[in-house]
Amino acid sequence: MTPVIVRTRAELAAARTGVEGTLALVPTMGALHEGHRSLIRRAREIAGTVAVSVFVNPLQFGPNEDFDRYPRTFADDVEACAAEGVSIVFAPSVDVMYPAEPQVTLKSGPMGARVEGVTRPGHFDGMLTVVLKLLNLVRPDVAVFGEKDAQQLAMIRRMVADLNVPVEVVGAPTVREPDGLALSSRNRYLTETDRSTALALSRALRAGADAVPDGPSAVVKAARAVLDGAGPALHLDYIVLVDPATFLEVSDAHTGPAVLAVAARVGTTHLIDNTPLEFPKEH
């Protein structure tokens, strides 16, 4: 199926009017990889029609971040969407999304200042603002996001609950290379040497997961040991064990679900990864 490509609000409104039954939106910044394709497949399981948005959102990049060099591969993205049975590709320009300097934007609050928010101040404000705008424009029944961006997903769930946004948010699991590297559009920036350094992230998460029977502190300690062993080419931003809904760090007495989240800079590339964990009642 060839998706209809819409670039303006009017074209989107016309395409939306033609949708019968349920619509799922997969918001992306393009540079689609197998991880995005798995989100699209999840969306297709849920809804009769799938729309994908492709928009590199300037509002969620800091002044020294990679907005300008973020990979833009639109022709390949459309091909991937076609292969996955996407009906609508919404690819607005910056002017369509932000026709004037926005005066009213979302604040991600205390949760947006935690963990990844410390490394990327303002990122979650810009991300939530564009996600709400996309939801308002596309009006999907369901929106599918990757669990790879666990804090992003938690913040979107919180926004939807706090602002009564009429959409169901669905998370889909992280897709990894056979050697464990989580798929990310930013992996394209990695040299071969960077890539092998970056494997420490997923190795650290696995070491942390193996230490679950010994409790939360042991998990963080085991993960940190792997990252410390990765050498100076890996600059660790954080390794934290947090509550999946609030992203507050959990105590050593914690039982139930948690997320072990890591971020590091390898070369000039900011990488994040995480794994969901479950702490049994007795540990």
Three-state SS string across 217-248, please?
HHHHHHHHHHHHCCCCCEEEEEEEEECCCCCC
For ligand PAF, which residue of 130, 169, 205, 234 counts as binding (CB under 6 A)? 130
For ligand PAF, give the closer residue by CB, 247 or 279. 247
For ligand PAF, which residue of 15, 131, 182, 260 counts as binding (CB under 6 A)? 131
Sort residue 195 into left (φ over 0), alpha (ψ -120 to 50) or beta.
alpha
For ligand PAF, give the closer residue by CB, 116 or 260. 116
Residue 261 binds ligand PAF (CB under 6 A)? no
For ligand PAF, which residue of 38, 49, 57, 202 counts as binding (CB under 6 A)? 57
Interface stretch with ligand PAF, choices 1-9, 24-32, 67-75, 208-216 (CB under 6 A): 24-32
Catalytic status, residue 36: yes
For ligand PAF, which residue of 78, 86, 97, 127 counts as binding (CB under 6 A)? 127
Interface stretch with ligand PAF, choices 84-92, 111-119, 124-132, 216-224 (CB under 6 A): 124-132
Interface stretch with ligand PAF, choices 7-15, 27-35, 61-69, 174-182 (CB under 6 A): 27-35
CA atoms of 68 and 72, how far apart (whole Å) = 10
How many residues of this chain interact with ligand PAF, rule: CB under 6 A?
10
CA atoms of 215 and 280, how far apart (whole Å) = 9
CA atoms of 169 and 131, how far apart (whole Å) = 12
Residue whose C-alpha is closest to residue 272's, from 258, 282, 262, 283 = 262
How many other C-beta atoms lie within 10 A of the C-beta of residue 5? 15
CA atoms of 6 and 36, how far apart (whole Å) = 19
Q: In whole angstroms, how close is the CB of 148 to ligand PAF at the nearest point? A: 8
For ligand PAF, which residue of 3, 27, 92, 208 counts as binding (CB under 6 A)? 27
Sort residue 31 into left (φ over 0), alpha (ψ -120 to 50) or beta.
left
Residues forming the site for ligand PAF (CB under 6 A): 27-29, 57, 60, 127, 130-131, 149, 152
Catalytic residue numbers, as ranges: 36
